[in-house]
Structure 1
């Protein structure tokens, strides 16, 4: 059983198209077909049914899919931990939502290393969708994120929240804000839903951004108004002449941890999640 057969099979499960899988993996269609033929010969069953309507999994393919995901995860994890650990007893790869990393990464990593002084840590800053994909494939051990993605084999926990505050260089009231100078944060699906419900008049702002620190940079350079994380809002008020918009609601963002189902009860994962949760308690 070749690892590339499994990777190609799982990509084909997503795309349901030999052409799209070939494009995504940088292969020719004939190579994709040859890999699937070899895999089907090894399994002894047809895994895909091809027709004018597209490519669909057979009953055998549906049965094989969860085992293929597990094999990919185990293989990727085995290679990664063997190569990354070096002389350490444990190697951990942790993904952090970009907005959360700035004010917390130092304290979190310090606590991680105090818990596991003999471990090697790799910290990846990313967005929720990519971190979920990396967890599923075995490229991350733990992720802290805003948006759980409903993928098989992942386990999510809600561990706390952060809040965003509206600040403005134009004045402390809603009435002072010029919609043309409003910068809309697009930090997560949950944030966007709350924003649309609470401030529909600003939902079509001419400028938007998906990272709080970047919105801070834009506000500092351009002036105007926008929602940013509470700590960053305080910094803008104290150091850059901004004001909290007094009649604006705050917007809360739930924080989740995510691990592969295989690791949801592991000692290392539980200890790291406990550290992260404790830092989020008001």
Structure 2
């Protein structure tokens, strides 16, 4: 069977729409429909029911789903392992959520350079849903994400229980004001807790969708905002930033996600490296380790 047929089938399952699947695959809706017809002819069963709300699987489609997933995973893993650079025994692909890569990913890459020089390293930064999809499909060996959704066939391991703390450039700490507040989008759980704690900051003057961008803007322009403790620690020590006292803190954990049937010879060294570079930050954040992710704690 043409692998493209299985990939198209899975894209329709993911998007629940022939039209959206065509957009994701960069082909015409006619091509998607033709691929599905070909696949249904090969299997002798209808796989989808199309209606105004989109496309849903038939009982035959439900039965074919795990087989299509396995087929694509096997192909992606084979393609991944064959493309190994000269001088390396295997290739490892890791993806990290946009808000978590700095500085974790760089420190891990440097650790792997010394501890596992036989492995070729490929990295990417992206959004959690996309990274988890790639891990499930075998394109990525490991994904590092915040608050991952548990999926069949994937294992989740806690790496860091880091805190989001309020910092400011002001010489005298004061309650935050919307006019000079920098709101960083740390995800829906943070947004909910932040909204309860600071409803008056809903109209912040500046909103940043990327933590490093918000941090650099804060350092350049001044103001107040929530940031991961580890990435502002050096600025706190130098005096460029100061903690705002008596403000709530929020947990921001990071998890490593990988396939349950992964190649342990490949993944275990990478996990060891992640644990190693994450351990100092984990130790620093233990005071908040009993809280649930995203739950605020009042600093005493």
TM-score (norm 2): 0.83
In the TM superposition, what are the counterparts of 1:94-173 in structure 2 within 5 Å?
A: 94-173=94-173
CA RMSD of aligned residues (A): 2.3
In the TM superposition, what are the counterparts of 1:213-252 in structure 2 within 5 Å?
A: 213-239=212-238, 241-252=240-251
- Cα deviation for residue 207 of structure 1 reads 1.9
Q: Which residue of 2 aligns with 1:205?
A: 204
In 1: Cα distance, 2:96 partner to 2:19 partner = 34
- Cα deviation for residue 137 of structure 1 reads 2.6
2:167 counterpart SS class: strand
CA deviations over 1:102-153 (Å, ceiling 9, x no partner) = 3333431233234422111112223322211221232211111113134443
TM-score (norm 1): 0.88
Name which of structure 1's ranges 69-78 and 104-113 shifts more when overlaid on structure 2.
104-113
Aligned residues: 280
Distance verdict in 2 for CA 1:174–1:70, change over 3 Å: farther
Distance verdict in 2 for CA 1:220–1:5, change over 3 Å: same
CA deviations over 1:43-92 (Å, ceiling 9, x no partner) = 22211123455422110100111111111111112112212344521110
Which of residues 276, 279, 288 is equivalent to 1:278? Answer: 276
Q: Which residue of 2 aligns with 1:183?
A: 182
In 2: Cα distance, 1:238 partner to 1:124 partner = 31
- Cα deviation for residue 208 of structure 1 reads 1.6
CA contact (8 A) 1:96 1:126 kept: yes
Distance verdict in 2 for CA 1:64–1:86, change over 3 Å: farther
In 1: Cα distance, 2:67 partner to 2:174 partner = 55
CA contact (8 A) 1:183 1:226 kept: yes
Q: Which runs of 5+ in 2 are unaligned?
A: 284-300
In 2: Cα distance, 1:130 partner to 1:148 partner = 11
In 1: Cα distance, 2:123 partner to 2:129 partner = 17
CA deviations over 1:247-273 (Å, ceiling 9, x no partner) = 21222211100112321x723323322
In 2: Cα distance, 1:84 partner to 1:242 partner = 44
Distance verdict in 2 for CA 1:141–1:53, change over 3 Å: closer
